[in-house]
Amino acid sequence: MSQYIIDHTNLLNNLLIVNVMLVALVVVVAIAYSFIVAYYLKKKREYAKKKDESYKEMSSLIQMPEYDFKVDENDKKLKSEMVKQKEEEINTLSDKTEKYERKSSNTKYYTKMIVEGCFLLWIFTFMLVIVVSDLVSPSTSYIREVSNSQSEGISVNAYYVTTYHQSDQSTISIYVKNNSNKILKSAKITEKDSNSSEYICYLNPGEEKIVSLEVYNNNYNKDFNFNIDEVTFEE
């Protein structure tokens, strides 16, 4: 039994570590994403601005009269060459703008895939945490009232049962109250079917305490009955 609980507790701890690491990974990815996308958008705006400036310069060149250029044979093509140079510059800037746009889109896509994958893994590990926790944690019943167990002013008022996985052992936690006007020195509380017993000591008048009994091979859902014997009060 103990090895079963130890093994599953270790598994639970590992699952919790994975769960926390997945959350940490999502946080790191989100921070990295914000910085990377901000950088790509900045570069994209820079190249887009340069592209607009080059467009304006090319438009100015196209609208410029021929007489603004030298008329010798070697310089007649100056205007067209300058326009062509600006066109190449604009194409280069367009390519760079599109490149950073693609990088930004790809970053968004892969970040989304990573976050969604981590979220699905987190849900899966969280469900495993719940299942494994249930396997290693004791199960406790609802509290049950007792109305027919009393002796010399000492009464059993209620109890609840705790069971353990991979074990036929159960613990009955019993609420015992001193309804007399004397101080209880000791009393023996016995579960009738299993004959398991335990002593409760020193209860002041009106005071209530819990005493626990260990029982074996008992039905978790059955009703337990108790005897109160050997009641001794302080003189």
How many angstroms separate the CA atoms of 18 and 124, rounded? 11
Query: Between the CA atoms of 179, 182, 183 and 186, what dihedral angle is there, to the nearest 10 degrees?
Result: -70
- Grouping H, G, I as helix, E, B as strand and the rest as coil, residue 76 is coil
**Is the pTM above the cut of 0.85?**
no
Instruction: Mention every residue, 6+ apart, whose C-beta is less than 8 A from residue 186.
Output: 199, 200, 201, 202, 230, 231, 232
Spatial separation of the C-alpha atoms in residues 58 and 50, rounded to whole Å: 12
Q: With beta carbons less than 8 A apart as the criterion, state whether 27 and 114 touch.
A: no
Same domain, 180 and 204: yes
pLDDT value of position 175: 93
Look up residue 86 and give its two tokens. 């600006």
- Per-residue pLDDT band at 150 (split at 50, 70, 90): confident
Give the pLDDT confidence score for residue 95 in this predicted structure.
82
Is 213:133 a contact under the CB 8 Å cutoff?
no
End of a domain among 73, 103, 136? 136
Where a domain ends, among 136, 171, 193? 136
Number of domains in the chain: 2
Q: How confident is the model at residue 211 (pLDDT cuts 50, 70, 90)?
A: very high
Residue 225 token pair: 């009955």
Instruction: Print the domain residue range for 209.
Output: 140-233
**CATH code assigned at 197:** 2.60.40
Q: Which of 172 and 85 is assigned the larger pLDDT?
A: 172
